[in-house]
């Protein structure tokens, strides 16, 4: 466990310095090839857990320390220890001893074992009081940045606390059944035969009661099922594709929505993304599901002149880059890496993309605008501006009852998304 604590400390430090949690973790697996699956699971839990509750843990640590620590590794080790003491099933005695041992391996932490021992044992003795004190600060209470809490409170005065609570949860593992290969009913039976309990949500979305490694899923290698959030599974059905249509999935990587579209109809699909490396993931998903597409293009959705063949599309899925504020339960690093000023750049880029894609949509064609954001600047305000500037655009109603003006708020069952279906008149 000492090794897992040390690797987690390294990961957390790099993320808080500005790196993506996903990329840092992948790099860590390459740097430490000797790690077992169990160790990787423990490291992932520690890293995600500390970042999920960073606001609370950091506030508690400030209360425990007389003055800030100069050694960042030691600081992050204490956050790991506090997370384990508060949220893991490990015994307090074991957590403290392992943290003390781990501190001996940290750079410039010589002679700090006594401090680690004292801080963690002090938390154990005064846990209730410290947690109550931490709650007096909103960042300590909600484990979200203050600007984020303020914005949610202003935009969702009735729901902001539920949104924050959903953002701090462990994400559910939800499956999308490939109904071209197997029926939902038959796949449910396969899960049951494998002693996996699942709940049916909508459009064939199955949420597992207990997450499992993907290679344990029945028929995963055969393409019978894909792991995809239930909220994300709404995109393909909303686009209303039919056999023979020419369809563009812009900003498509890693390809979950693309493959869903191919499951729904026999279409001529162009998959576009500006990141060549992420297109590799799309190719892997297509291969596993035994699917083929018309084109797989690396290009900028905001500049079709660089890749478009001049033929209009019947349907366009515009899943645009955004703040990802609706998926922080899966990517807790986003809360701490994102800055409020970043929203402006996202909004500008989104506007460029949707305006460019609108020009290559056929008349009577439909464009589905999608974000995984819950901030109004990127969503309803963006669409209001677009409709004002495009007389040939009309907004179509979304029949699903779970939407409120296109917004699907994050919940314990799914992430947060915004959907708007536009038709060129």
Q: Give the catalytic positions in this structure.
A: 372
Tokens representing 191 are 């899960």
DSSP assignment of 29-71 equals HHH-TT--HHHHHHHHHHHHHHHHTHHHHHHHHHHH-SS--S-
Tokens representing 332 are 């807790």
HEC readout, 144-196: CCHHHHHHHHHHCCCCHHHHHHHHCCCCCEEEEECCCCCCHHHHHHHHHHCCC
Residue 395 CB neighbours (<10 A) = 15
Q: Which residues are paired to 283 by β-bridges?
A: none
**Pairing state between β 313-319 and 246-250:** parallel
Tokens representing 336 are 């701490």
**DSSP for residue 304:** G
**Pairing state between β 407-408 and 417-424:** antiparallel
Instruction: Determine if the peptide bond prior to 73 is cis (ω within 30°).
Output: no
CA 198 to chain centre: 21
Tokens 């890496």 correspond to what residue?
Answer: 337
Contacts of 179 (CB under 8 A, 6+ apart): 204, 263
Nearest-angstrom CA–CA distance, 119 and 395: 57
């Amino acid at each position: 466990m000492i090794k897992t604590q040390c690797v987690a400390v390294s990961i957390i430090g790099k993320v808080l310095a500005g790196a993506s949690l996903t990329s840092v973790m992948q790099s860590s697996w390459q740097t430490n090839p000797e790690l077992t699956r169990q160790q990787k699971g423990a490291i992932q839990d520690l890293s995600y857990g500390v970042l999920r509750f960073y606001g609370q843990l950091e506030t508690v640590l400030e209360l425990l320390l007389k003055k800030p620590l100069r050694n960042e590794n030691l600081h992050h080790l204490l956050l790991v220890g506090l997370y384990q003491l508060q949220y893991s099933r490990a015994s307090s005695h074991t957590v403290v001893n392992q943290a003390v041992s781990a501190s001996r391996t940290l750079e410039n932490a010589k002679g700090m074992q006594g401090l680690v021992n004292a801080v963690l044992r002090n938390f154990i003795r005064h846990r209730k009081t410290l947690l109550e004190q931490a709650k007096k600060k909103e960042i300590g209470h909600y484990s979200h940045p203050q600007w984020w809490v303020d914005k949610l409170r202003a935009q969702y005065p009735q729901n902001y606390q539920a949104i924050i609570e959903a953002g701090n949860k462990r994400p559910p593992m939800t499956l999308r059944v490939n109904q071209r290969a197997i029926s939902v009913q038959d796949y449910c039976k396969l899960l049951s035969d494998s002693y996996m309990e699942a709940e049916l949500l909508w459009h064939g979305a199955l949420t597992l009661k207990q997450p499992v490694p993907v290679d344990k899923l029945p028929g995963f290698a055969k393409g019978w099922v894909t792991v995809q959030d239930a909220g994300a599974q709404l995109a393909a059905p909303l686009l209303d594709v039919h056999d023979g249509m020419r369809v563009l999935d812009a900003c498509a990587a890693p390809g979950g929505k693309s493959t869903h579209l191919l499951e729904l109809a026999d279409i001529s699909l162009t998959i576009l993304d500006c990141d060549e490396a992420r297109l590799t993931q799309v190719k892997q998903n297509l291969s596993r599901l035994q699917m083929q597409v018309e084109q797989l293009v690396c290009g900028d959705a905001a500049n079709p002149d660089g890749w478009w063949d001049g033929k209009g599309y019947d349907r366009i899925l515009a899943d645009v880059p955004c703040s990802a504020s609706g998926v922080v339960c899966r990517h807790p690093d986003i809360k701490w890496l994102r800055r409020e000023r970043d929203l402006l750049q996202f909004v500008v880029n989104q506007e460029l993309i949707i305006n460019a894609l609108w020009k290559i949509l056929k008349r009577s064609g439909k464009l589905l605008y999608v974000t995984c954001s819950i901030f109004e600047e990127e969503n309803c305000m963006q669409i209001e501006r677009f409709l004002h500037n495009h007389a040939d655009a009309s907004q179509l109603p979304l029949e699903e009852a779970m939407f409120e003006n296109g917004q699907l708020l994050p919940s314990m069952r799914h992430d947060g998304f915004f959907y708007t279906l536009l038709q060129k008149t």
